[in-house]
Structure 1
Amino acid sequence: MPASVASTAPAGPAASGSSYRPALTLLASLFFMWGFITVINNTLLPHLRAVFDLNYTQTTLIESVWFIAYFVASIPSAKLIERIGYQRSLVTGLLIMAAGALGMVLAASLPSYGVTLAMLFVIASGITLLQVAANPYVAVIGSPETSSSRLNLVQAMNSAGTMLAPLFGAYLILGRSKSGTAQEGTVLSAADRLADAHSVILPYVLVAVVLVVLAVVIGRFRLPAMGSATSRVAREERSNHSLWKHRNLVFGVPAIFIYLIAEIGVANLFVNFVSQPTIANLTHEQAGRYLTFLWGGMMVGRFAGSAIMQRIEAEKVLAAVSVAAFLVMLVTVFSTGPIAMWALISVGLFHSIMFPTIFTLGIKGLGPLTEEGSGLLIMAIAGGALVVVQGWLADRYGLQSSFLLTAACELYILFYALWGAKPTQALPDETVTAG
């Protein structure tokens, strides 16, 4: 896809040293912002559930629309990057997100469930444009042996955004609405719902302003040249190879897809889960604050994982955390009270390294096919759309039992770490060279 790369010798000092640090620092701000905006949804969903009187299936459909955007917008994003270039595409993605944030103001003013879905789709499409370029770009800078460590480090900034977003959402959305400060099961009047809907306006105006400012900064920043040294490999060379002969990619695409079901299901249903009388008996505002610990665990885990994978193979680390995640999900399902709540919180620590590690293992040894393989892995983020399946399970069998789906997802990640991630017919590694 659009993170253009070239077959070169192993990265030298220019490719792995200080020449890329300013660019990586700027990219880290993008990882922070899209993590922040994505996780606002976790506090937005219980809010919209109350405003529009939704069941769990309808509530998780909101998040499904968000992740469908990854599938729909990935290929158009790649085409756009090829047409207007890397830097302009980053600016465009940020402005698309800002437009969607302002659209959320319209949706809250009406209020309208349909317009809300449409505007969240727009925001997610802008994030897709950023994701399609940024993830593979970071992965191929520097030594291939430390690509998992490098992407985990930058993804830690994504987790910093996800850690702060629940506090932002709990204070400015849930804390300013009657549904957010009332006990679970409180019946709202039509006037209460209208007032609650308007509580979304200020947060999304603030988000839109920050996105526009960031777009201006990136537009004026001198990113490393992505010129002929990193142009797409000739079509004739790529045609001599097949993506489907690379086991690590073939099994990596469903690994990303399945992991997203697990991560998004936990995050989206967290507030409703811990609010239950048999778990923590909290208001939605209080539960939203505890969500910070879930995402904080992901941030800590990514910083720790970045250091650990300098010494231990990424596959072994991935296998260990998948086993731990499986065990704590079983505790979540079969216990009650604070034990169940803290078990669910702790899964964030074990989920932390999964996405960046699966991504870098998936493109390992793809050589001139790294672009196409990266694109497929980004499209697999659409797996988050299937969180609606967990919503259906929650409606039919109970919210707590629905987390058995998450436990099952962890087992596939274990399979991928132990066998699926082993490269077959590996080609020379791809690196980005300094422009």
Structure 2
Amino acid sequence: MAAPAPIILNRPAADAAAGPAPRYTSALSAVTTLFFLWGFITCLNDILIPYLKAIFQLSYAQANLINLCFFGAYFLMSIPAGKVVARVGYKRGMLLGFVVAAVGAFLFYPAAAARAYGLFLGALFVLASGITLLQVAANPYVAILGPPASASARLTLTQAFNSLGTTLAPLLGSALILSHLPKLNTATSAATIDVRAVQLPYLVIGGVLLLISLLLSRVHLPVIEHAAAEEAGSPAEHRGAWSYRHLAFGVVGIFAYVGAEVAIGSHIVSYLSLSSVMSDLLIYVRSMLVISEAQKLFGFSIDNTEAAAGMMVSFYWGAAMVGRFAGAYLLNKFSPSKLLAFNAIIAVVFILISISTTGPVAMWSLLAVGLMNSLMYPTIFTLALVGLGRLTEEGSGLLCTAIVGGALVPLLFGFIADHSSLRLALLLPIVCYVYIMWYGLRGSRPVVPA
């Protein structure tokens, strides 16, 4: 079945002139580097949570303040970021986002030196504020930059490089950060943890952010113009983006998707470390050929269960990467809304299998949820922006605000885990995926206000 063509009313200025369709390969290549980098940074939280949990002897709920500060920035900063992008343009918005994110990364150095959890949370908020600005600018830019019929596929392809970053981050984070955790998780052993393990990676990240910002400033990006002027005075636009029902439902869909994905990803290390799930995890991971070869290549060793579980997180995000590369093709062949619903249903099945089993089956079925997550964000995002025209930036800001689901859902997940178990807490993502299934089947149908 052919994919429906999203009707996005913004176009690059070059499209307005008659002639052959312009090529945007260089512009898309430049923007794709942003997706890779913020995927890498975001996924480091999955490694940072068990690391800081050990240092400060935190409960699951307290450790999830990391997600609250990081993804809470999306809630507080997305709408202001949308106004900034509307005023200064997509390119300058991205450049500003890089600088703000770099400042946040550099703040990790004094936070680690002071061994102050509050400073870590503050640094994460600043870092996430910069990434929020990048998201608000880059997501609609990629969706608009090319034929509207392939918007979902194009954004999915660039999101695949985001997943490449999330795949590499657990491997490097486990080797550089979690490998420094002591085998005994006590207050005495926590005092001996080397905080320098977290300083160097974020100093490097800050430097890379500034470098890419400099390079991007020298890249020519096509200027985006809005729809024809006569469309600007429609009653719907006077009421604002919220008047589009499919956008409002899409905001909830992004909230549910990010919340479920982050809740699972942030707790995989703890979940796989449970003896009731994988009692021989350390032995199992050491025996894996790809892990043993990586140890030889990079010269690190896996000496504790947390580091072993951290390595497995890369399979969760790696599955999303594979799914997005495949999805870029599938979304050109099938209905994006139906593929979204299908993936949500299979995600529920995988979680139920993990909850009801033990050993490798419980581990791999939960990691496989990453494959089902692959299409969700870009598909919900582009479906929700259909027909918004001049309200695209506002709609993008609202959708990015919904990324706060990555703050609130994991916090509730941690509360449930503290008062019952991690297995029972996995029922929460199931609720999120059921809503996403409904959005794909019914809620994403565009209804333009009269």
TM-score, normalised via structure 1 length? 0.90
| Residue among 285, 288, 296 paired with 2:310 | 288
Q: 1:11–1:142: 8 Å Cα contact kept in structure 2?
A: no
One-letter amino acid matched to 1:277: S
Q: The residue matched to 1:279 in structure 2 has which SS?
A: helix
Q: 1:111 and 2:115 equivalent?
A: yes
One-letter amino acid matched to 1:117: L
Matches within 5 A, 1:353-392: 353-386=375-408, 387-392=410-415
Query: How far did 1:370 drift?
Result: 2.5
Q: The residue matched to 1:423 in structure 2 has which SS?
A: coil
| Residue among 217, 222, 229 paired with 1:224 | 222
| Residue among 165, 171, 178 paired with 1:161 | 165
Query: How far did 1:134 drift?
Result: 0.5
In the alignment, which residue of structure 1 is the partner of 2:300? Answer: none
Q: 2:249–2:443: 8 Å Cα contact kept in structure 1?
A: yes
Q: 1:243–1:249: 8 Å Cα contact kept in structure 2?
A: yes
Bigger Cα displacement from structure 2, 312-321 vs 16-25? 16-25
Aligned mates of 1:291, 1:15 — CA distance in 2: 48
In the alignment, which residue of structure 2 is the partner of 1:352? Answer: 374
Closer, same or farther: CA 242–37 of 1 in aligned 2, 3 Å: closer
| Residue among 303, 306, 312 paired with 2:325 | 303
In the alignment, which residue of structure 1 is the partner of 2:178? Answer: 174
| Residue among 85, 95, 103 paired with 1:91 | 95
Aligned mates of 1:216, 1:15 — CA distance in 2: 33
In the alignment, which residue of structure 1 is the partner of 2:79? Answer: 75
Aligned mates of 2:126, 2:20 — CA distance in 1: 35
One-letter amino acid matched to 1:137: Y
Aligned mates of 2:168, 2:315 — CA distance in 1: 10
Over the aligned positions, Cα root-mean-square deviation in angstroms equals 2.6
TM-score, normalised via structure 2 length? 0.87
Unmatched 5+ residue regions in structure 1?
428-435
Closer, same or farther: CA 13–348 of 1 in aligned 2, 3 Å: farther
Query: How far did 1:138 drift?
Result: 0.8
Cα-to-partner distance string for 1:326-357 (whole Å, 9 max, x where unaligned): 10011121211211111110000001100100
Query: How far did 1:245 drift?
Result: 4.4
| Residue among 33, 42, 52 paired with 1:29 | 33
Q: 1:187 and 2:199 equivalent?
A: no
In the alignment, which residue of structure 2 is the partner of 1:196? Answer: 194
Q: The residue matched to 1:19 in structure 2 has which SS?
A: coil
Aligned mates of 1:315, 1:410 — CA distance in 2: 14
- Percent of residue pairs bearing the same amino acid type: 42
Q: 2:39–2:166: 8 Å Cα contact kept in structure 1?
A: yes
Query: How far did 1:220 drift?
Result: 1.8
Cα-to-partner distance string for 1:221-258 (whole Å, 9 max, x where unaligned): 222234x5679998644645654443321211101111
Q: 2:226–2:389: 8 Å Cα contact kept in structure 1?
A: no
Query: How far did 1:395 drift?
Result: 0.3
Aligned mates of 1:14, 1:166 — CA distance in 2: 48
Aligned mates of 1:9, 1:66 — CA distance in 2: 35
Closer, same or farther: CA 208–307 of 1 in aligned 2, 3 Å: same
